[in-house]
Structure 1
């Protein structure tokens, strides 16, 4: 399922739990395919050209990076939901630092998320990655990846 996400041309991917490495991998994979990326700001290093600016003011890019969408005020989340509804033909990466997995059902944004990647670093020496494909806000497919370090 992780490879399927790297090959996406449109849709919304939400990465939670401060998974910088996985977000960087996806942005680099999409940039290598010649996609133009617009980011609010970059919380990590990305290879290739990334433009910095507000995604709400430009429709000229194929990929958008929006940082901490769930930590915003209710008014900003409503604005983001409207923007996502009008940009279903684009690829949007929502990068959230806080960990959200099952509690995604509390957020109205769940209706627009196609894939949820919940990253968690466990204290016993491994990382856990829960990947879920969502349809209309409900889990349609789920897979868990574990990596020891």
Structure 2
């Protein structure tokens, strides 16, 4: 049947990279997790979340169910290594990596691809459509993908 957004919604653990500033989709998913009673820790909030969200440094705080990390691709040197190490050691948690810039098929250029399970690439087209490319990755390689188009 293919990969669907609901596959991400019902995850219990995994690392999801959302690119292209997909505020609405990320808000829906994080709101649902908050309604489920999951404890969420965010580096910052690029959008409103209904429910309890703690703001803080994910590298310094354990015992949360969901982590929201902002702009992981903009990190350099030691910050990037620290993030990769942290992601590798937190495979049992849900981690949303929220990136403002769009990255789709070009994810293969980034070492972060080896640490994520899903890539949600959001793009708004000038012709009144929103496109979401959803990829499932294993060991840095795309193993499944789907494309969702919403016309306005």
TM-score by length of 2: 0.96
2:48 aligned to which of 45, 49, 57 = 45
Task: Tell me, yes or no, if structure 1 residue 139 matches structure 2 residue 142.
Answer: yes
Q: CA offsets per residue over residues 3-24 of structure 1, 9 Å max, x none?
A: 1110011000110001011110
Instruction: Give how far 1:74 is off.
Output: 2.5
1:34 maps to which residue?
Answer: 37
1:87 aligned to which of 86, 90, 108 = 90
Q: CA offsets per residue over residues 83-129 of structure 1, 9 Å max, x none?
A: 00110000000000000011111111111111100000001110000
2:28 maps to which residue?
Answer: 25
Cα distance in structure 2, aligned partners of 1:114 and 1:131? 11
Cα distance in structure 1, aligned partners of 2:141 and 2:35? 31
Cα distance in structure 2, aligned partners of 1:38 and 1:82? 18
| Structure 1 gap segments, 5+ residues each | none
Cα distance in structure 2, aligned partners of 1:24 and 1:97? 14
Instruction: Give how far 1:77 is off.
Output: 1.1
Task: Tell me, yes or no, if structure 1 residue 130 matches structure 2 residue 136.
Answer: no
**Aligned residues between the structures:** 149
1:101 maps to which residue?
Answer: 104
TM-score by length of 1: 0.98
| Structure 2 gap segments, 5+ residues each | none
Cα distance in structure 2, aligned partners of 1:73 and 1:24? 27
1:73 maps to which residue?
Answer: 76
Cα distance in structure 1, aligned partners of 2:32 and 2:135? 20
Runs of 4+ in 1 over 6 A off after TM superposition: none
